[in-house]
Amino acid sequence: MKSLFRGILVTLYLLSGWSPVVAALPVAVDGQPLPSLAPVLRDVTPSVVNIYTQTRVRVRSPLLDDPVFRRFFNVPDAPRERVSQSLGSGVIVDAAKGYVLTNNHVIARADEIAVGLKDGRSLEAKLIGTDPDTDLAVIQIPAQSLTALQLADSDPLQVGDFVVAVGNPFGLGQTVTSGIVSALGRTGLRGLEYQNFIQTDASINPGNSGGALINLRGELVGINSAIFTPSGGNVGIGFAIPSSMARYVMDQLIRHGEMRRGTLGLFVQDLTPELAGAFAVDAGVGVLVAEVASGSAAADAGLRPGDVIVEVGGRPIVSAQDYHNAEGRLALGDKLGIEYLRDGTDRSAQLVIRSVPVLDGEELDSRLKGARFTELNARQKQENQSGVLLEELDPRSRLAYEGLAEGDIVTGVNRQQINNLADFTQALELTHRGILLQIRRNGRAYIARVE
């Protein structure tokens, strides 16, 4: 019986012409080729690069500050260093000039930046400019036989559109994953002022940061930036910076080496249903003006607390984040129209973007040399109530030695509360001995003494 069964199987095998060699999917069905992303990716992948950075960090010990300890143990005076390495991805956006777009957190404070191309070349990169507020940066590599990726307009994207992520996850090398646009206009990531993220379920993991999110035409629609994960790996919730925002930031960084943003001088907040009822407007329409900075463009145009902003520069405003994003896309000197409601009446005004007030630390006190302070922006004002922002800090400065860092909020001087730059200046003028700074960082309070 067994031999008869084997014979039937052999006969069926021979009659059918079946062969294990052709068990894979055919290249075509009914004469039609199977869909594949390979033709698109052949053009895209040479434009996506791997980025490797090295940062030298000084290692300090309180004992090493003691000259007696150093002399007793014959410890040299030269500071010790350790080298920190990180990896990420980037996108070539200008082949003729070698410009590469990536995330700020990929190259932040890096002493050396190396770029690996798909063809195996490794090139040294030069930093052109960074924008921590959007987590974007531009670096430059030698422009030899490069391929650039075309930027698309991300504004027409819809939930459900297919997208592909290309990057260097975990340092494995160039990797491609696919998914869809899961949501648009995502906000809420800590540490970033301007947020309008594309959410995708295309797998994004550590190392993908700065890589490309493309549409099915092979055009750049986003820069992969962050993931939401309880475990450290991909769980299907990734975030990318829209190309429309990236293009504006990139142009400014290439032109000026920095972002030159200004302000209208308005501090706004979301309209809750209770506030909307109190101001006789529909919930979800516009944002409420909570404060108008004196001497600002908004003050000169006659805006005042209680007004409801519904449109900025032709863009509808439904949340405070919408307002911040619209303001953040404007350069110094730009003119724009604002539509707002006051006592239920439609009004409009024309404003010009002005620079944000900045104070050099040395102008305030020689001990603050190497520091630059600015007023809090609207989000920081909401979170911290009061204070001034330590916007820039020389790592060799006295404040850096005392442990302060860029992004710290100075909330008090010698136990006197600080609300703005004017308060800060006045408090320092009254200080004749040591400066006691009250600092807020990531929701925690610190005290630093500067002699």
Among residues 47, 89, 105, 182, the one annotated as catalytic is 105
Q: Among all chains, which residue has been given the structure tokens 């409420």?
A: 288
Among residues 86, 203, 209, 296, the one annotated as catalytic is 209
Side chain identity at residue 422, one-letter code:
A
**What does DSSP say about strands 126-131 and 122-124: parallel, antiparallel, or unpaired?**
unpaired
Among residues 131, 133, 135, 322, the one annotated as catalytic is 135
How far from 438 is each of 287, 369, 386, 428, CA to CA, in Å? 32, 18, 12, 13
Cβ density class 42-80: b for 16+ within 10 Å, e for less: eebbbbbbbbbbebeeeeeeeebeeeeeeeeeeeeeeee
Catalytic (active site) residue 355 = no
Catalytic (active site) residue 135 = yes
| Angstrom distance (rounded) from CA 199 to CA 226 | 10
Catalytic (active site) residue 182 = no
Q: Which two tokens stand for residue 178?
A: 């696919």
Catalytic amino acids?
A: 105, 135, 209
